[in-house]
Structure 1
Amino acid sequence: MYRILMLESIKSLEEAISTLGWEVPEDIRIEEPPNSNLGDVASSVSFQLAKNLKRAPMDITNDILGVLKTPNIFRKVDSKGPYINFFVDNDKFSEIVLNSINEDYGKLQDKNMKIILEHTSANPNGPLHIGHIRNSIIGDSLARVLKSAGYDVETQYYVNDMGRQIAMIVWGILNHVYQMDPNGKPDHEIGKLYFQVNEKLRADPDLKVEVSALLKRYEKGGDDELEKHFENVVKECLKGISSTSARLNVEHDAFIWESRFIKNGSVAKILKFLDPYTKKNEVVYMDLNEYGIEKELILIRSDGTSLYSTRDLAYHFEKSKKSDLSIDVLGSDHKLAIDQLNIPLELLGAKKPEVIFYEFITLPEGSMSTRRGVFISVDDLMEEAVIRAMKEIEKRRSDLDESERLKIAEQVGIGAIRYFIARLSPEKHIIFKWDEALSFERGCASIQYSHARACKLLEKANYKKKELDEIIDLNLEHPFEIDLIKIISKFPFVIEESARINRVHNIAQYSQDLAGAFNKFYKSVPVIGSDKEDLRLLIVDKSRITIQNCLKLMGIEAPQSM
């Protein structure tokens, strides 16, 4: 695999440098050259050595090449300026790569490390909308990548069941503000109620006192009937949110309700521990100026109730104790809140979370607000994606029956949404554009199509799986089959790198490169009926596996027909 090339080149360089009597650098730099004429991997180690040796990098390169033993997997090693370039023996390398690929290709060695990854965690006051979807897709895709990279990952949804928004909804139910449709999707009905309550409070701000009183009673505990109202609202909303998430292929291992940190005494214990660091006026707060943060962290309101940040502190403390690393996926507007949270966490002796901040996603029409009732729900977005995909499938596959076309449209439509969001780094703002998302030439559909092509070719050939040692002619001839195997070999390395930086956009880019390489092979390299049919069918099957597993990392299905 591609990592073997890097490890073998590093090993040979270390031996050569030691032979010359020089100190071996701690981290020998290996990179992929910009084009294959400069080798498959290259090293700039001569630049690393130049400072200590006080010699020109070119002279150092010549000395290294004079004693370097070419590893068996390479056919030659030479230089381009001071760079040392390694050229792979394609037949030997391909044999290693093809032998390494099974249905679990991309599953790396167990890291023996527990990660708690929190994502989505939308307030249960309405349906998921397009403002939430980037959080869900980044979080779910990253969890898949980390699991594949060998980490023990638990995904959590932090349920804000004690927020003012839930108190508003309960108040709305108790005061019959809106009659929810029992046959409607529960999260949508709760969202309509929440909108109506906001309108009511805007018209009469004095009613906010009643909402605050409800929240105080709930936090105090002991009112079973009120607790049941809060619990039912949240459960019903989560039922709808979970249904939406399932269609989007987003999974959570656990739903952690914030009220438990009040009920189990965690918040009280933390407040007691932090007491020496707090100040009091109308509220209890921490002055963070001495830590370089101008805004104070309020822990207790004037009415004696805790804040979201207080309970969030207890939640992060628990995550720190139950994992080796906790990861939060949050909008970029949470940066100050995390800076504030990290101060008391450090005082408590807890590990700080690693946070992936993302910029927001919008439609060309503009932004959304649940409070104002102006939003595009994820349900609406998915429905629109499937309808648009269906129109494209109908144009291309009139031979299929309605149910088969609908199945493919679902796979393509949901895949389009997930891929469009996964393909960009979280730091970049996204405007969701249908023509780009559903493009069969550049979007996710083009990757899914390459998988379908591979399946069709194997079916046409009536392919019976063969092991490499059953194939007589293993010599590679066509540059496109060589390029394809090289790209396939990089899959585990891309997973490892994606896990290292906690990002998924490089997986999306790799999947596009992989599909592109396969499509070139498919169009230009004879397979069925060629004198290398067995070898090339094997390459097609290994391509199918790699494309499928790559899509799986992004929560995208791989259609067998398109």
Structure 2
Amino acid sequence: MYRKLEQYAIQSVKKTIQDLGWEEPSEIKFEVPPNSNMGDLATSVAFQLASSLKKSPVEISQNISGNIEIIPPFKKVESKGPYVNFFFDPEMFSRMVLESIQEDYGALENKQEKVILEHTSANPNGPLHIGHIRNAIIGDSLARVLRAAGFQVETQYYVNDMGRQIAMIVWGLQNLDYQMDPDGKKDVEIGKLYFQVNQKLKANPEIKSQIDSILKTYEEENPPELESMFKEVVSNCLEGVENTSRRMNITHDAFVWESQFVRDGSMKKILETLDEYTKQNDVLYLDLTDYGIEKELILTRSDGTSLYSTRDLAYHLQKSENSDQVVDVLGSDHKLAIDQLKIALGLLGGKSPDVIFYEFITLPEGSMSTRRGVFISVDELIDEATQRARVELDERRPELGEDEKKKIAKIIGVGAIRYYIARLSPEKHIVFKWDEALSFERGCASIQYAHARACKLLEKAGGFTPSEVKMDTLNFHDLDTLEVDLLKTLAKFSTVIEDSARDLRVHSVAQYALEVAGAFNKFYKSVPVIGSEKEFLRLLMVDKSRITIRNCLDLLGIEAPVSM
């Protein structure tokens, strides 16, 4: 909505500059002023024109505002210092906003561009833990935002089924008297075995050569029995990962196993293509010093087996060939590896991926490790969040039935986790704190509560049907400041989505969700609705707020309860 209004303002400024006989700048940018007294949209175009016109920005802004033709939905344009400020006509603006918000509000025009977005991709050696969850939440939320922005998105999970960790688990199955609990969650049982193998390896480092031998045999000979063991380990772990992910409202469109790039000849073809650039000592590698990177990219081990980096290169080449844009969500410790990969991809003619690097989540007592068995699993996290939400519901809504409490507690608990992580820019480190994440006084619960409030108010209104409201019958005169403020906040939604998709950042969506809930809560507490002279208009505002909050939360993978 704001982008559309911005285009109106840009056309007015352009025409005025032409009428004044000035040379038009290549781009005219607008912004929302920090204070509504300074206007609803403002441009600093006077600064751009100052050097060529040999005039002060203040004089230029006065010339523009004094000669501009005011077009709807603006009621006035004035200069404030070097800025040209546009003010909305409240009635016309409010009508436009309410008409623009339908059930699919936020869905932008189809761009006919395909994005392959890889996220989560945790090693299949144990359950997902909160060290993985930031990747999954950022990735899933970004996929939702990109789809809303009009992109065709395919989410992928890259399965590291040829890594040393899987060979270690296979060694454990062959050599340890370990019985998996048949009633246990499969990824958890595999994680326990992986931990035991690590303990054995620490006590007896010679086991490493046996594990290397398993890995080499699997890659080069791939005997059926060994292949079956590898596939069973990985499939069992992925089954658990998918179950956990679904509890967090996260799904993947495709699981791509890295072994396919060894089996289908992709690896061989890549090594042949890079032959003129590679060097050999104990290992085959790319010397990257000419590109400003001191550390070489190793392509094969000394025994000739492939490395994760080489298989990842084949995977990125496949993604590049099958999409218009490649997006990866990776921990900040992958920065060097991505710099190396981008150079190799360039030599192969592939697209360079756009990468969202995130800092890790740690516990107050330190970092997490599957190998050391120090972590909180995502399942444990969800259980704890749901339990805490249930305790809160028992106190606040004792009249609710058991099934209703269970349903709402799950929605609140999962929402709290997803919002706590999505609200911060990925560059910021997170120390996970239960009380902070699951606070019912701020954060996601307050946003969900705003939605529930809106639903309750519409329910109380009885026969109110938004689709049957005739806009020309509504009284838009003398709008309350809180009404206008709410509508201005609702109008930002599409712009927030557009900016989030462009920047590949989802924290702005989370921050906007809190902003719109706050604007609605102020309206709800201070502006009478049912029984007022403007009942239908205000009920329509409540309904449009409900839609916007719900759709915004959906972009974050969070359900909007109708009751709390």
TM-score norm. by structure 2 comes to 0.98
Q: Distance in 2 between matches of 1:170 and 1:281?
A: 31
- The corresponding residue for 2:112 is 112
Residue 413 (structure 1) shift? 0.5
Residue type of the alignment partner of 2:183: N
Contact 1:390–1:406 (CA under 8 A) maintained in structure 2: yes
Q: Distance in 1 between matches of 2:415 and 2:288?
A: 44
1:97 partnered with 2:97: yes
Residue type of the alignment partner of 1:65: S
Q: Distance in 2 between matches of 1:415 and 1:468?
A: 36
- The corresponding residue for 1:57 is 57
Moved more, 233-242 or 468-477: 468-477
**Structure 2 SS opposite 1:144:** helix
- The corresponding residue for 1:524 is 526
- The corresponding residue for 1:246 is 246
Question: For residues 446-483 of structure 1, what are the alpha-carbon distances to aligned partners after superposition, in whole Å with 9 as ceiling and x for unaligned?
Answer: 00000000000000111322334363323352111111
Residue 363 (structure 1) shift? 2.1
- The corresponding residue for 2:178 is 178
Q: Distance in 2 between matches of 1:475 and 1:189?
A: 66
- The corresponding residue for 2:212 is 212
Q: Distance in 2 between matches of 1:472 and 1:43?
A: 33
- The corresponding residue for 2:491 is 489
Q: Distance in 1 between matches of 2:333 and 2:231?
A: 28
Q: Distance in 2 between matches of 1:470 and 1:24?
A: 39
CA gap 1:182/1:476 in 2 versus in 1, 3 angstroms: farther
Residue type of the alignment partner of 2:411: Q
Specify every segment of 5 or more residues in structure 2 that has no aligned partner in the other structure, as ranges. none
Q: Distance in 2 between matches of 1:11 and 1:69?
A: 10
Moved more, 400-409 or 502-511: 400-409
Contact 1:177–1:193 (CA under 8 A) maintained in structure 2: no
- The corresponding residue for 1:40 is 40
- The corresponding residue for 2:414 is 414
Residue 29 (structure 1) shift? 1.8
1:310-389 matches, within 5 Å, as 310-389=310-389
Moved more, 425-434 or 493-502: 425-434
1:552 partnered with 2:528: no
Residue 441 (structure 1) shift? 2.4
Question: For residues 518-558 of structure 1, what are the alpha-carbon distances to aligned partners after superposition, in whole Å with 9 as ceiling and x for unaligned?
Answer: 00010000000111111111110010000000000000000
Q: Distance in 2 between matches of 1:476 and 1:108?
A: 32
Question: For residues 142-168 of structure 1, what are the alpha-carbon distances to aligned partners after superposition, in whole Å with 9 as ceiling and x for unaligned?
Answer: 000000000011000000000000011
Question: For residues 36-60 of structure 1, what are the alpha-carbon distances to aligned partners after superposition, in whole Å with 9 as ceiling and x for unaligned?
Answer: 0000001111011001111111111
Q: Distance in 2 between matches of 1:468 and 1:10?
A: 31
- The corresponding residue for 2:16 is 16
Contact 2:46–2:58 (CA under 8 A) maintained in structure 1: yes
Question: For residues 194-217 of structure 1, what are the alpha-carbon distances to aligned partners after superposition, in whole Å with 9 as ceiling and x for unaligned?
Answer: 001111111111111111111111
Residue 66 (structure 1) shift? 2.6
Q: Distance in 2 between matches of 1:212 and 1:44?
A: 63
Q: Distance in 1 between matches of 2:205 and 2:333?
A: 27
Residue 344 (structure 1) shift? 1.0
1:478 partnered with 2:484: no
Question: For residues 315-342 of structure 1, what are the alpha-carbon distances to aligned partners after superposition, in whole Å with 9 as ceiling and x for unaligned?
Answer: 0011111111100000000000001111
Residue type of the alignment partner of 1:497: D
Q: Distance in 1 between matches of 2:555 and 2:365?
A: 31
Question: For residues 101-154 of structure 1, what are the alpha-carbon distances to aligned partners after superposition, in whole Å with 9 as ceiling and x for unaligned?
Answer: 111000000111110000000000000111100000000000000000000110
Residue 435 (structure 1) shift? 2.1
Contact 1:483–1:517 (CA under 8 A) maintained in structure 2: yes
- The corresponding residue for 1:452 is 452
Residue type of the alignment partner of 2:557: G
1:126-165 matches, within 5 Å, as 126-165=126-165
Contact 1:326–1:353 (CA under 8 A) maintained in structure 2: yes
Q: Distance in 2 between matches of 1:35 and 1:4?
A: 21
**Structure 1 SS opposite 2:206:** helix
**Structure 1 SS opposite 2:549:** helix
**Structure 2 SS opposite 1:285:** strand
Residue type of the alignment partner of 1:84: V
Residue type of the alignment partner of 2:553: L
Residue type of the alignment partner of 1:80: K
- The corresponding residue for 1:237 is 237
- The corresponding residue for 1:399 is 399
**Structure 2 SS opposite 1:299:** strand
Q: Distance in 1 between matches of 2:394 and 2:299?
A: 57
- The corresponding residue for 1:124 is 124
Residue 61 (structure 1) shift? 1.3
1:280-295 matches, within 5 Å, as 280-295=280-295
Contact 1:2–1:490 (CA under 8 A) maintained in structure 2: yes
- The corresponding residue for 2:188 is 188
Q: Distance in 1 between matches of 2:129 and 2:330?
A: 15
Residue type of the alignment partner of 2:556: M
Q: Distance in 2 between matches of 1:332 and 1:554?
A: 22
- The corresponding residue for 2:2 is 2
Q: Distance in 2 between matches of 1:90 and 1:212?
A: 71
Residue 286 (structure 1) shift? 1.0
Contact 2:66–2:78 (CA under 8 A) maintained in structure 1: no
Specify every segment of 5 or more residues in structure 1 that has no aligned partner in the other structure, as ranges. none
Residue type of the alignment partner of 1:452: A
- The corresponding residue for 1:506 is 508
Q: Distance in 2 between matches of 1:3 and 1:149?
A: 13
1:541 partnered with 2:543: yes
- The corresponding residue for 2:465 is 464
- The corresponding residue for 2:198 is 198
**Structure 2 SS opposite 1:205:** coil
Residue 222 (structure 1) shift? 4.1
RMSD: 1.0
Residue type of the alignment partner of 1:17: I
Q: Distance in 2 between matches of 1:442 and 1:313?
A: 43
Moved more, 375-384 or 474-483: 474-483
Contact 1:38–1:80 (CA under 8 A) maintained in structure 2: yes
Q: Distance in 2 between matches of 1:362 and 1:300?
A: 33
TM-score norm. by structure 1 comes to 0.99
Residues paired across the two proteins, number? 562
Contact 1:95–1:468 (CA under 8 A) maintained in structure 2: no
Moved more, 342-351 or 58-67: 58-67
- The corresponding residue for 2:304 is 304
Q: Distance in 2 between matches of 1:16 and 1:142?
A: 40
Q: Distance in 1 between matches of 2:472 and 2:457?
A: 20
**Structure 2 SS opposite 1:400:** coil
Contact 2:386–2:412 (CA under 8 A) maintained in structure 1: yes
Question: For residues 344-381 of structure 1, what are the alpha-carbon distances to aligned partners after superposition, in whole Å with 9 as ceiling and x for unaligned?
Answer: 10001111101000001112222111101111111111
CA gap 1:476/1:408 in 2 versus in 1, 3 angstroms: farther
Residue type of the alignment partner of 2:546: R
1:270-289 matches, within 5 Å, as 270-289=270-289
- The corresponding residue for 1:167 is 167
Question: For residues 256-306 of structure 1, what are the alpha-carbon distances to aligned partners after superposition, in whole Å with 9 as ceiling and x for unaligned?
Answer: 000000011000000001011111111111111111111111101111100
Contact 2:110–2:150 (CA under 8 A) maintained in structure 1: yes
**Structure 2 SS opposite 1:480:** helix
